[in-house]
Amino acid sequence: MARTTTGIAITGHGVWHPPSVLTNDELVAGFNEFVRRDNARHQAEITAGVREALKESTSEFIYRASGIEQRYVQDKTGLVDPERMCPNIPDRPEDQLSYQAEYAKHAAMIALAKAGRAGEDVDLVVLGASNLQRLYPAIAIEVQDAVGAKKGYAFDVSIGCSAATGATIMAQQAIQTGAAKCALVVVPELTTGHMNWRERDSHFIFGDASVAFVVEPVERAKPGAWEILSSRMMSKFSSNIRNNAGYLDRCDPSTEHAIDKLFHQHGRRVFKEVVPLAAKFITEHLQSLELAPSQIGRYWLHQANQKLNELVAEYTLGRKATREEAPIILDEFGNTASAGSLIAFSKHNEDLAPGTFGVMSSFGAGYSLASLVLRRM
Ligand code: COA
């Protein structure tokens, strides 16, 4: 069988999340109080028919529509405060580690320990995240310094929910070219800052978490590591998932704080378009390696929405996947943007025997898609 390999492996992985848990019931209680107060404030306009009353949210809808039961959040005091509806995350002075660098460092130290490496072994840091708290200095360079990496280079990539798989592929490719030997991929998804907590269609979707990989040539990998046989990326422009926040915002005071500067989406359209796109993308990638979908021991899919995940797996396999074949972590974590498929991998790979094939795949805003076909060493 024609089988390729990149000669590169994932040798360590680590997951970290903030300690604070936000259940659906807590989220809904805070949101509904906001709705009642907002409607009371605008009672006259609502009665006059010039303003639509806001509708309440329910935990039942959230679970049924998404499979999410809870999420970890950086701060919940602000999220459940009906007068605030936004996380309270105090700005930090420039001589303190920034939030995303701190998230990255927590997961990186776990991944490095797992790989049996220290920060000084690292000669490349690729940071992938759907949101970056600033553009320069690159947060990856701050992480490089924070983990004690003294050589090499670091950069940030942001391609929506494929930022983390994309960062892993960029690390793999850099090692293949000889530009680096020991890469750290860090994914600090502090997503709660980009959400519109006042919008019931999306207020339940995201959670905060961080994940990291160590990526090295197979010669340096120990048994149990995951060889990257092949990787692929694709993108196709769509505005269906979008956030317009950016450095030009203050240049137009009339729209500076508009709600399109937060996450917004056409959820139904995304669902309809992304399921066939992702299934075709994964299937064609496997075909190129002469692998049948049924030969894959595990699918670590982007954790957007349980129904969406289940359908992508079903379209790929031609039958429903079991929970073991396509594990779900979003019940506990919510949608952690690009971190989801890497967290699913980190939490659900150690039971698999050497020689088992696995697929890690993401699909999200952009649209951006990426997949890695792996084999356990
Ligand atoms: N509580 C109660 N009802 C709610 C609600 C809430 N929090 N949010 C929406 N509803 C209502 C809607 O208003 C609508 O009511 P209507 O039929 O009277 O108009 C109904 O529930 C269905 O809403 P809809 O938005 O069509 O639900 P859905 O089944 O499409 O699920 C998503 C919504 C977002 C979960 C789903 O579209 C989705 O997952 N899409 C994929 C998007 C995605 O994964 N994006 C990834 C970002 S990285």
pLDDT tens for residues 241-252?
999 999 999 999
Range of the domain at 371: 226-376
- Please list, in sequence order, all residues whose beta carbon lies within 8 angstroms of the beta carbon of residue 229, skipping any fewer than 6 positions away: 3, 4, 5, 6, 289, 357, 373, 374, 375
pLDDT at 2 over 70: no
CA–CA distance, 227 with 229 (Å, rounded to integer)? 6
310 CA from centroid of ligand 1 (Å) = 17
pLDDT at 273 over 60: yes
pLDDT at 329 over 70: yes
Domain count, the chain: 1
> 268, 306, 367: which to mutate for ligand 1, most atoms within 8 A of CB?
268
88 CA from centroid of ligand 1 (Å) = 26
Q: Residue 233 falls within a domain, yes or no?
A: yes
Going by pLDDT thresholds of 50, 70 and 90, the confidence category of residue 127 is very high
Q: Cβ(305) to ligand 1 under 6 A? A: yes
65 CA from centroid of ligand 1 (Å) = 6
Going by pLDDT thresholds of 50, 70 and 90, the confidence category of residue 281 is very high
Q: What is the pLDDT of residues 200-255, one digit of tens each?
A: 999 999 999 999 999 999 999 999 999 999 999 999 999 999 999 999 999 999 99
Q: Cβ(200) to ligand 1 under 6 A? A: yes
List active site positions: 161
Average pLDDT score over the chain: 97
Q: Residue 88 falls within a domain, yes or no?
A: no
- Lowest-confidence pick of 116-120, 268-272, 358-362: 268-272
Report pLDDT for 254: 97
Q: For ligand 1, atom 18, which residue shows the shortest CA distance?
A: 55
Q: Residue 330 falls within a domain, yes or no?
A: yes
pLDDT at 68 over 80: yes
Look at the block and give the residue holding tokens 């930090």.
92
Identify the CA nearest to 236 among candidates 364, 52, 344, 322.
Answer: 364
Q: For ligand 1, atom 27, which residue shows the shortest CA distance?
A: 65
Going by pLDDT thresholds of 50, 70 and 90, the confidence category of residue 110 is very high
> 68, 270, 328: which to mutate for ligand 1, most atoms within 8 A of CB?
270
Report pLDDT for 369: 98
40 CA from centroid of ligand 1 (Å) = 25
Q: Does the global pTM surpass 0.75?
A: yes
Q: What is the pLDDT of residues 30-47, one digit of tens each?
A: 999 999 999 999 999 999
73 CA from centroid of ligand 1 (Å) = 21
> 130, 165, 271, 312: which to mutate for ligand 1, most atoms within 8 A of CB?
271
Which DSSP category does 12 fall into? Answer: E
Bridge partners, residue 358, by sequence? 298, 374
Strands 70-72 and 21-23: what pairing? Answer: antiparallel
Identify the CA nearest to 339 among candidates 214, 239, 206.
Answer: 206
Q: Residue 35 falls within a domain, yes or no?
A: no
Average pLDDT score over residue span 92-104: 98
66 CA from centroid of ligand 1 (Å) = 8
Atom of ligand 1 nearest to the CA of 130: 48
Q: Cβ(323) to ligand 1 under 6 A? A: no
Q: Cβ(61) to ligand 1 under 6 A? A: yes
Report pLDDT for 3: 65
Q: What is the pLDDT of residues 341-375, one digit of tens each?
A: 999 999 999 999 999 999 999 999 999 999 999 99
Q: Residue 58 falls within a domain, yes or no?
A: no
pLDDT at 257 over 80: yes
Tokens of 36: 């009642």
Q: Residue 177 falls within a domain, yes or no?
A: no
Residue 14 near residue 233, CB atoms below 8 Å: no
pLDDT at 305 over 80: yes
Q: For ligand 1, atom 48, which residue shows the shortest CA distance?
A: 364
81 CA from centroid of ligand 1 (Å) = 23
CATH of the domain at 253: 3.40.47.10
Q: Residue 15 falls within a domain, yes or no?
A: no
> 201, 240, 308, 312: which to mutate for ligand 1, most atoms within 8 A of CB?
201
Look at the block and give the residue holding tokens 């894959």.
296
Helix or strand holding residue 16 (H, E): strand 8-16
pLDDT at 1 over 70: no
Atom of ligand 1 nearest to the CA of 263: 47
Q: Residue 56 falls within a domain, yes or no?
A: no
Alpha helices in the chain (DSSP H): 24-41, 43-48, 59-66, 99-115, 139-146, 163-177, 267-288, 306-317, 330-333, 340-347
